[in-house]
Structure 1
Amino acid sequence: MTAKGSRSITDVGTLKALAHPLRMKLYRALCVAEKATASQLADQVDEAVALVSYHLRKLAEHGLIDEAPAQSADGRERWWQPSSEGVSIRDRDFRDAPEKAAAHLAATRLFHEQRDDMYRRYLDERSTWGPEWNAAAPDSESLLRLNPAELNELREELVALMRKYDERSRSGDAEGRENVAVHVHGFPFRV
């Protein structure tokens, strides 16, 4: 990847570019692969190469991905990579106008729907993973009583912990490793 850290998305144009269902799938797949061609990504998302190429260019226009150095001698292949280690999208950056708040809400719903789809797929395929993976895969809910500062502290600690494991996985032996999604939601609620 070309830049360390997470990129903060603060403008509606970039948010809308990422909040397209296919573009978000492509961005997620590219983050997992680290580098890929449109053909490789098209196979993963089961779409036409031309359509995938179009959407990759849109992501690049908004600085979410960059062209990567060629990975093979075939100069016709165009390789792509994420421009950062991820993105962060904060509610506070989209509160100052109703259209910005609506775009943020729509994007957040799409991201969560895709995450839920990923988890449902795992549940449907759970028997193919075997007992070791199934025992290791957490599925829990904690109902805490926190104030906003404590919830923020918890979020920061969880992000740091995930970053530690991400760094370990990128520098260690790849044997026995699989892609693992960790989705954490922390939100206030009333009964």
Structure 2
Amino acid sequence: MPDTPAADSSPSAPGPDIRTLNPRSLRGLAHPLRMRLLVALRHHGPATASQLADRLGESSGATSYHLRQLADHGFVADDPGRGKGRERWWKAADKAIMVDQALYHDPNPEVRGALNTFIHETASIHGQELSTWLATTQDWPETWTTKADLSDFTLRLTPELLAELDGRVHDLIASYKDRATQESDEDVAQVRIHLHAFPQKRLDTPDA
């Protein structure tokens, strides 16, 4: 997930600001609220536990506890340059997360259970983001609503070709990372791109 832990298993080598999950860190992150907290800090910047509680519809006690758990595993850190007095601000420690492919074959059932939670929560977050966009399209000017995309494709591929395609798509997306900041156009927004690619069994064609 380069950007959400929202999950990513990009075929490209991770950069210095991309964290690769191992069994311990995966178990520390694989909790629905912790993942939502980390996504919120990544997408919207530093915040306090109370601000995050209001944004996510949770109690400040719950957000405080899970922020501390995320901090224990190095996913978030204090942002001492913000706030006053005892007000504690949190920020994401990394820009993105990748899943170590070895986790899919880990013999520990706790690790496999954590990976299952992580992947399903990632899919849930993607669905929530898409639903939010569809429910708020009327709030955006036509220049955005006519450019957003909701497409799907079906190809016949080998595992190797799927990996090649995935890598090329990741590289293409990465090539657009800083282009908007290099241009004078002020009509810039944060854009979410979801990539789902998976095999599907074909149903037998019924006899004529």
TM range (shorter): 0.7 to 0.9
Aligned-partner residue type, residue 68 of structure 1: D
Instruction: Report the structure number with the largest CA radius of gyration.
Output: 2
Contact 1:63 1:83 (C-alpha < 8 Å) held by counterparts: yes
| Partners of 1:44 and 1:96 in 2: CA distance | 35
1:129-168 aligned at under 5 Å gives the runs 129-168=140-179
| Partners of 1:23 and 1:35 in 2: CA distance | 15
| Partners of 1:166 and 1:77 in 2: CA distance | 33
Give the SS at the match of 2:137: helix
Aligned counterpart, 2:139: 128
Gaps in structure 2 of 5+ consecutive residues: 1-14, 203-208
Aligned counterpart, 1:10: 22
Q: Does residue 57 of the first structure (1) align with residue 68 of the second (2)?
A: yes
Aligned counterpart, 2:205: none
Q: Deviations over 1:119-157 (max 9, x none)?
A: 122212222223222111111112122222222222222
| Partners of 1:68 and 1:175 in 2: CA distance | 29
Contact 2:103 2:115 (C-alpha < 8 Å) held by counterparts: no
Deviation at 1:163, TM superposition (A): 2.7
**TM-score in terms of structure 1 length:** 0.84
**TM-score in terms of structure 2 length:** 0.78
The change in CA–CA distance for 1:80 and 1:175 in structure 2 (over 3 A counts) is farther
| Partners of 1:170 and 1:9 in 2: CA distance | 30
Deviation at 1:184, TM superposition (A): 0.3
Q: Does residue 66 of the first structure (1) align with residue 80 of the second (2)?
A: no
Q: Which moved more, 1:148-157 or 1:134-143?
A: 148-157
Q: Does residue 105 of the first structure (1) align with residue 116 of the second (2)?
A: yes
| Partners of 1:45 and 1:165 in 2: CA distance | 30
Aligned counterpart, 2:6: none
Give the SS at the match of 2:120: helix
Aligned counterpart, 1:92: 102
Give the SS at the match of 1:76: coil
Q: Does residue 186 of the first structure (1) align with residue 191 of the second (2)?
A: no
Q: What percentage of residue pairs aligned between the two structures are identical?
A: 32
Aligned counterpart, 1:19: 30
Aligned-partner residue type, residue 152 of structure 2: E
